[in-house]
Structure 1
Amino acid sequence: MLNKLMRKKSMESDISLTEQIANVKSRQIPAHVAIIMDGNGRWAKKRNLPRIAGHHEGMKTVRKIARIANDIGIKVLTLYAFSTENWKRPKLEIDFLMKLPGEFLNTYLSELIEENVKVEMIGNVNLLPEHTKQAIQKAIEATKHNDGMILNFAMNYGSRLEIIQCMQALAEKTANGDLNWEDINEDVVNSHLMTAHLPEPDLLIRTSGEVRLSNFMLWQLAYAEFSFTDVLWPDFDEQCLLNVLQDFQSRSRRFGNVEGEGVE
């Protein structure tokens, strides 16, 4: 259904982007959108370019999507930038990926500050190279007082590891007598996840035609709406996001309640 919507560009050519944004803003907007940014390598391969060229082009897409998401009024945009499994990739590619946060944030940090965007990160920061950590920490510090959209990078993030660390913390508290096992519920688990201070995602988008979660926010996505598209991440533009949001707004979210109607 979504891919059909994305093929309607010729029909929508007489509707300006500004008008579409206004239409989306007039309806229920997802508070938290999470994106698995997939397809950078395939984008480069189609053009006979090295994979790193695709990652660099994908960085430009991050800026475009973050800008329009902020304009629309999305509260949190979480981007799956580097997974715990990505360390298995070739060293040259990993080294380039570790440089991208610094390049992106050094280039666009002043713009993020001006747009009142707050930069955050989930994931295990300790295993990141020092230059990557410094770039991320600099952006977090520089934007910590901003109260607009949270641009949340999932960096060296894996949901299974996150859940294991949560279980370990709960087990330690139980062993120390600080927590009764009978009191462990969803709220307690949520409070021990890396996203404890964030609303759960309303919408997950994955680009490039893949239809799996790849160890991304397995707990948090329990009631999210999913949207999969064949569009490769470097080609995912403002129109693509608007199409996804319009599709989201047409759905009926029930959260397990058969009688539920509308976007809640």
Structure 2
Amino acid sequence: MFSTVAIVGAGTMGQGIAQLLVESGLTVRLHDRSAEALSQAIDAVTRRLQRRTDMDTSAAATANLLLSTPCLAQITDVELAIEAVPERLELKQVVFAELDRCLPASAVLASNTSGLDIDKLADSTTRPERVLGLHFFNPPSLMPLIEVVPGAVTDSAVLAAVQAFAEQLGKTPITVANRPGFVVNRLLFAMIAEAVRIVDEGETPAQDVDRALCLGASHPIGPLALADFIGLDVVLDILQSLVSGLGTRYEPSAVLHELVTQGHLGRKSGRGFFSY
């Protein structure tokens, strides 16, 4: 079982996964190529862990399990690395190649991608049998599902170990095929893309689109509020990747491009389809 885990990418998902792992008693080496982003992430996760400690004194020992790791070459003692950089295939391939060079041959390399081709990531390494997808959902500490995505040559023992790891974290793993969008995002982003197109038509405001799904289909949150929560830049990246794999029904519309260009990225920027 894995006891020391590297997380590469200190953004929203990297921070969330780090928090979850530390709260589960694992040692986490968090890395980001930006020293500023890494420092901010360590501070943010530490604050969240401290709030939990204030409520639960048994969590006090978790603070020293989160380690800032500015250089990937320092990551030599991990059994598992989880890549959580932005959803761009070329960037992830570079990260996987670097992890392959730095980590021991026995280490498992996992991607938190929400739908990119696992085999293309595995081909960036000399250990494709030890590469797979490990897709957490936001926020990782609360969402119960993890999609586990084996590649064409992923070793069955590696797959079993990662499934057991997900269960150790208190999650429910499902094994899904290596197809664009996997299962959840293939369904979810088709809905988000259509919701944005409706707004783009100019006759139905975002508030009413979300009300329609919440009141008419019992959704707990509307698709546009959810897009704001995910981050509109992330939504755009995912939709563009799905277009290449599944076709134009995932094509992001003009209003989404415009919001991202203007820096209106949703909750994290204070404004997206809604204001916060």
Q: Same fold (TM over 0.5)?
A: no
Give the TM-score normalised by the residue count of structure 2. Answer: 0.31
TM-score by length of 1: 0.32
Highest RCO, 1 vs 2 (Cα 8 Å, sep ≥ 6): 1
